[in-house]
Structure 1
Amino acid sequence: MTAPALHRSELAHLLSDQWDAIAALVADLDEERWRTPSPLPGWSLFDVVAHVVGTESWLLGERPPAHDPIRPKTDVTTLPHVRNETGVLNEIWVDRLRPLSGRRLLALYTDVTERRRAALAGMGDAEWEAETVSPIGKISYSRFMLIRLFDCWMHELDIADGLGVSVDEGGPRAELAFVELTNSIGRAVAKGAQAPDGSRITFELTGALPRTLHVAVHGRANIVETLDAPATVVVGMDSGLFARLRGGRTEAEAHAGEFTISGDQDLGSRLVRNLAFTI
């Protein structure tokens, strides 16, 4: 499944809605709840929002605030959850914003997302399709904004899970974001689960984003419309659990009884244990 072609105004509108959804979740938090741990290692709910502030500020050409000399300086490259240059930049923004109050952070979030809305509205078609630097290399700006939608959608789930509340996990934003989780499933099948050549795998997803994914392994693991023979293994689970496993927010061992495996049990077990991927 590929992402549908969207006019830039449509994608900008979905991004705007996504920013509003995050703001609504944190609008009434007191300072203690802002510091609630999120599903992401080392990050509180405050840190998740600070990360979004940092990324959207960076897209406006801004740099992280200066380090407060009164605070001990953290070498973010030594943190166990920081694994690449993008992670370093993310962590610098979070670390520099962390001394603020939640109320002040929300004000910054509101300001930067309003300025991003204006920036997106002012872009022409040439700018929208121009090549730009992103966490996955040089891609078109429009492709980068799809990744931003995915990232912010996942962070909405992070905040909701941290607060122990439910949000609508379906709809246009989710449908578009979910493509980022399904398109690259072949790598998890081949590299993570080590599915042998000739394997035929089906993921049956239920819940807010129901769909059937078929993967055939012939040298490489690729998504296919249909399998040419019965599946070697069928893995069934809720789309929300699939998203969280793919996003590395949880592990299969914590969800016994929430997924089913039919067929090759060993391969199915390897699949659910190795779904995690990050951009």
Structure 2
Amino acid sequence: MTTASGVRDDLLAEQEALDVLVAGLDDEQWELPTPSERWSVRDQIGHLAFFDGTAALAIVDEDGFRASLASLSPVFAPDATPDTMDDLTLATFRAMTPAELLAAWRANRAVLADASAGLDDDTRVIWYGPSMGAKSFLTARLMECWAHGQHVADAIGAVREPTERLAHIAQLGVITRKWTYVNRGLDVPDADIRVELTAPSGDVWRYGSDDAEQSVTGTAEDFCLVVTQCRHVDATGLDVVGDDAVDWMNKAQAFAGQATDGPAVA
């Protein structure tokens, strides 16, 4: 059974894998544009640094985290733009040299690692939306690290080997199907969808009813790329059967925040 401690271990491993990917980049590579509109490689790491820091604060100081929410209030103003959030969360990191940014991310990761070491499975952690159970909270951090790491890999032309850590992201992708629709103000389709994913190890991860008429099958990596909006479903090898399954894969969003459409077909 997955535990908060187990997810934490995989989060640390995912962060270290991304660290290895970026540690040797030169200054020009840090400024390369990524598939995320407006964001460079440095912005991807700056985003992780900011939210790893606030995640640690949420665990150890709930009142301090609540107080920090006021700094993001301009995001909800009528004249807010996508740059508003970037200015509030990335400005500090955009002013750093690449070496300073990498050090800042490492420092915030270390604080989060220490803060999360004592989390029990049933601990709830305050966050920007509803509070989250410890396992879900840490899974979300792992998913963010992996997805933003994919954008970095795409920008620098690197190919990452998939790992069994994808199990956390795949499960998150399945259980956020309802969220995908609620977040868009849409009714959630009633149809059951069977998901069968081939893990990097060759094992098969199964979700949903075996007798479901609609299905999504393929590699765990492709599924995770789609639900984190790193790839359009048509740019993967996923076999999607049924109108509701197709609709889900075209809208899938395993992360919080306002609804987004993800990449177009390459």
User: TM-score with structure 1 length normalisation?
Assistant: 0.69
Hey, what does 2:264 align to over in structure 1?
none
Hey, what does 2:81 align to over in structure 1?
79
3-state SS, counterpart of residue 126 of structure 2 = strand
Hey, what does 1:276 align to over in structure 2?
253
Hey, what does 1:29 align to over in structure 2?
25
Q: Check 1:52–1:267 CA distance in 2 against 1; reply closer, same or farther (3 A cut).
A: closer
Hey, what does 2:88 align to over in structure 1?
92
Q: 1:140 deviation in Å?
A: 3.4
Contact 1:248/1:278, CA 8 A, preserved across alignment: no
Task: Give the whole-Å Cα distance in 2 for the aligned partners of 1:81 and 1:243.
Answer: 27
Q: 1:50 deviation in Å?
A: 0.5
Q: Does 1:104 align with 2:104?
A: no
Q: 1:27 deviation in Å?
A: 0.4
Q: Within 5 A, what are the aligned runs for 1:56-205?
A: 56-61=52-57, 78-80=80-82, 88=85, 92-121=88-117, 123=118, 125=120, 129-171=122-164, 173-188=165-180, 197=190, 199-205=191-197
Residues 52-83 of structure 1 show CA distances to partners (whole Å, capped at 9, x for unaligned) of 1111222344899xxxxxxxxxx76633488x
Q: 1:205 deviation in Å?
A: 3.1
Hey, what does 1:213 align to over in structure 2?
207
3-state SS, counterpart of residue 25 of structure 2 = coil
Percent of residue pairs identical:
18
Q: Within 5 A, what are the aligned runs for 1:16-55?
A: 16-55=12-51
Hey, what does 1:6 align to over in structure 2?
3
Task: Give the whole-Å Cα distance in 1 for the aligned partners of 2:126 and 2:231.
Answer: 29
Q: Check 1:114–1:271 CA distance in 2 against 1; reply closer, same or farther (3 A cut).
A: closer
Task: Give the whole-Å Cα distance in 2 for the aligned partners of 1:31 and 1:11.
Answer: 33
Matched letter for residue 151 of structure 2: D
Hey, what does 2:71 align to over in structure 1?
none
Contact 1:18/1:149, CA 8 A, preserved across alignment: yes
Contact 2:223/2:238, CA 8 A, preserved across alignment: no
Matched letter for residue 35 of structure 1: E
3-state SS, counterpart of residue 145 of structure 1 = helix
Task: Give the whole-Å Cα distance in 1 for the aligned partners of 2:195 and 2:130.
Answer: 29
Q: Check 1:277–1:15 CA distance in 2 against 1; reply closer, same or farther (3 A cut).
A: closer
Q: Which runs of 5 or more residues in structure 1 are unaligned?
A: 65-74, 83-87, 215-223
Q: Check 1:100–1:187 CA distance in 2 against 1; reply closer, same or farther (3 A cut).
A: closer
3-state SS, counterpart of residue 134 of structure 1 = coil
Residues 79-105 of structure 1 show CA distances to partners (whole Å, capped at 9, x for unaligned) of 3488xxxxx3x7622122112121110
Matched letter for residue 242 of structure 1: F
Task: Give the whole-Å Cα distance in 2 for the aligned partners of 1:236 and 1:188.
Answer: 19
Task: Give the whole-Å Cα distance in 1 for the aligned partners of 2:158 and 2:44.
Answer: 16
Q: Check 1:131–1:189 CA distance in 2 against 1; reply closer, same or farther (3 A cut).
A: closer
Pick the structure with more strand per residue.
1
Bigger radius of gyration, 1 or 2?
1
Q: Check 1:76–1:136 CA distance in 2 against 1; reply closer, same or farther (3 A cut).
A: closer
Q: Which runs of 5 or more residues in structure 2 are unaligned?
A: 58-63, 69-73, 257-266
User: TM-score with structure 2 length normalisation?
Assistant: 0.72
Matched letter for residue 45 of structure 1: V
Query: What RMSD over aligned residues (CA atoms) do the two structures have, in Å?
Result: 3.5
